[in-house]
């Protein structure tokens, strides 16, 4: 059975600060607080999604934990082509802490003031759930990439052995073809997820005995049927695509947003092997893709991305914010599904988030961009203020 997050206030604040410091570093490195889009209202849709999670996710996470403790959930997330993956626990935390911070700012509070609307039981439960899941998922003693040299190593020996046998030398033509496929899958997931970097996962490095390193770029959620706008005439052929590379004389940096930076960026002359693998729904076996299949994957993703783009062009200003509700529900549902929950919980998660959107979207549409973005992008203090006891 799940607990109610029986953390001390001191430990809760320690975890809030740890998460907030890494988030602030990664947010400012990418200047995400300044991001704009012609298709989507990024500055308002995320705070709406955060509010959806703040209001509802603690209850759902307790139900999920009754089905599967966070440690077991984290262990089952490890591996190639998985969803949920590293982004979902991050979204759980930013959802709760982001909207809590906005609510504190709206009340005119300052760092060190007590939050009169504090829901400490929910806050402590979410923070404890995140830490326990992260510890089991990462298994490197670190809860965030910065504390492990900006690495994210979530593969066990069987997956590393699979990559060792499937990552093979590839010529310039194959490398170029795979790069086109990767770029198209990135575009597809970027449009599918409303310019949120969901479904794109870089992890590694995995040092090899010969001095090279393995690193992996994955694309998941490719056959989503949960988001209201996800169904397209052209469907992707696989639920997940895994691209793996072996290279020498490179460095890998991973962040909390599950992005990965490879230095040098153009590493083709240092590449010693690569593999492309596909995972289909209900199948735990990854299948190597030949050149013909890579071309088909790229073509399907291009056509589906175009359909999604054209549909999004028709969204009105209100829905450019309101879509944050299903967007963030789409992070809770994979966690519930992995824990063994049936579709009924997925429907309840979606309905709860949509209800919040129906209540809040009009007010957001009339307001300025939420002030929490300026706070997170400029504060010299804590990104998320600690709990102050009564």
Residue 3 pLDDT > 70: no
What pLDDT does residue 284 have?
Answer: 79
How far is residue 285's CA from residue 270's CA, in Å, rounded to a whole number? 29
Predicted model pTM = 0.95
Torsional sign, CA 353, 356, 358, 361: negative
How confident is the model over 31-59, as a mean pLDDT? 86
Cβ(48)–Cβ(321) below 8 Å:
yes
167 domain residue, yes or no: yes
Would 63 be classed as within a structural domain?
Answer: yes
Q: 103: buried, middle or exposed (CB in 10 Å: 19+, 13-18, 0-12)?
A: middle
232 and 268 in a single domain? The answer is yes
Which of 122, 135, 62, 128 has its CA nearest to residue 339? 62
**Max CA separation in the chain (angstroms):** 65
Q: Are residues 304 and 323 in the same domain?
A: no
Q: What is the mean pLDDT of residues 193-208?
A: 96
Question: In the chain, at which residue ranges do the beta strands (DSSP E only) sit?
Answer: 200-207, 213-219, 240-247, 251-254, 260-263, 271-279, 287-288
Residues 6+ apart with CB under 8 A from 268: 172, 175
- Is 390 domain-assigned? no
Mean pLDDT of 348-357: 98
Degrees to nearest 5, angle at CA 41 with 36 and 44:
110
Whether residue 322 is contained in a domain is answered as yes
Instruction: Kindly tell me the burial class for residue 197, based on how many C-beta atoms sit within 10 Å of its own C-beta (0-12, 13-18, 19 or more).
Output: middle
**Does residue 230 share a domain with residue 116?**
no
128-164 residue pLDDT tens: 999 999 999 999 999 999 999 999 999 999 999 999 9
pLDDT of residue 4: 47
Distance separating alpha carbons of residues 272 and 264, to the nearest angstrom: 15
Residues 74 and 200 in one domain: no
pLDDT digits (tens, 9 = 90+) for 11-41: 999 999 999 999 999 998 876 545 566 789 9
Q: Chain-wide mean pLDDT for the chain? A: 95
Of the residues 313, 335, 353, the one at which a domain ends: 313
Q: Tell me: do 123 and 214 sit in the same domain.
A: no
Do 370 and 263 share a structural domain?
A: no
Claim to verify: residue 78 and residue 137 sit in the same structural domain: yes
Per the structure, the complete domain to which residue 96 belongs is given by 9-145+317-378
Report percent pLDDT > 90 for the chain: 93
Same domain, 192 and 331: no
CB 53 within 8 A of CB 92: yes
Domain for residue 267, yes or no? yes
Domain boundary among 297, 313, 329: 313
Domain boundary residue, one of 287, 313, 339: 313
Number of structural domains (the chain) is: 2
Same domain, 329 and 206: no
pLDDT digits (tens, 9 = 90+) for 231-286: 999 999 899 999 999 999 999 999 999 999 999 999 999 999 999 999 987 677 89
Question: C-alpha distances in angstroms, 2 versus 16, 61, 69?
Answer: 21, 9, 7
Please state the length of the chain: 390
Q: What is the pLDDT of residue 39?
A: 87
d(CA 380, CA 249): 36
> CB of 368 within 8 A of CB of 102?
no
Residue 388 lies in a domain: no
Q: Is the pLDDT of residue 347 over 80?
A: yes
Verify that 130 and 167 share a domain, yes or no.
no
Q: Are residues 163 and 92 in the same domain?
A: no
Quick check: is 78 in a domain? yes
Query: Do 85 and 187 have their domain in common?
Result: no
In a domain, 271, yes or no: yes
pLDDT at residue 33 in the model: 47
């Amino acid at each position: 059975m799940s607990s109610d997050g029986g953390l001390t206030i001191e430990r809760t604040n320690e975890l809030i600060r740890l998460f907030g410091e890494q988030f602030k570093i990664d947010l400012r490195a990418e200047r995400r607080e300044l991001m704009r889009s012609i298709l989507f209202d990024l500055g308002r849709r995320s705070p709406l999604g955060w509010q959806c999670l703040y209001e509802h996710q603690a209850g759902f996470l307790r139900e999920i934990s009754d089905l599967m403790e966070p440690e077991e959930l984290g262990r089952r997330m490890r591996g190639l082509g998985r969803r949920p993956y590293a982004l979902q626990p991050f979204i759980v935390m930013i959802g709760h802490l982001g909207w809590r911070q906005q609510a504190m700012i709206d009340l005119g509070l300052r760092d060190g003031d007590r939050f009169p609307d504090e829901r400490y039981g929910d806050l402590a439960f979410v923070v404890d759930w995140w830490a326990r899941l992260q510890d089991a998922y990462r298994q490197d003693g670190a809860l965030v990439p910065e504390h492990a040299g900006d690495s994210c190593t979530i593969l066990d020996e069987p997956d590393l052995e699979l990559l060792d046998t499937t990552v093979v030398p590839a010529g310039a033509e194959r490398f170029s073809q795979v790069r086109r496929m990767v770029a198209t899958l990135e575009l597809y997931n970027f449009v599918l997820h409303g310019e949120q970097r969901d479904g794109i996962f870089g992890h590694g490095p995995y040092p090899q005995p010969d001095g090279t390193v393995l690193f992996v770029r994955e694309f998941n959620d490719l056959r989503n049927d949960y988001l209201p706008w996800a169904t397209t005439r052209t469907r992707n052929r696989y639920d997940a695509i895994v691209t793996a590379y072996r290279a020498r004389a490179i460095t890998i940096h991973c962040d909390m947003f599950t992005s990965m930076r490879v230095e040098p960026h153009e590493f083709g002359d240092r590449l010693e092997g690569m593999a492309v693998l596909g995972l289909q729904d209900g199948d735990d076996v990854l299948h190597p893709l030949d050149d013909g299949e890579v071309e088909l994957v790229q073509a399907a993703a291009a056509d589906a991305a175009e359909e999604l783009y054209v549909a999004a062009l028709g969204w009105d200003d209100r829905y450019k914010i309101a879509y944050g509700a299903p967007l963030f529900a789409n992070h809770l549902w994979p966690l519930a599904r992995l824990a063994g929950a049936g579709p009924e919980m997925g429907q309840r998660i979606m309905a709860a988030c949509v209800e919040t959107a129906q209540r809040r979207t009009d007010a957001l549409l009339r307001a300025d961009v939420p002030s929490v973005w300026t706070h997170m992008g400029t504060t010299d203090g804590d990104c998320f203020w600690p709990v102050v006891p009564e």
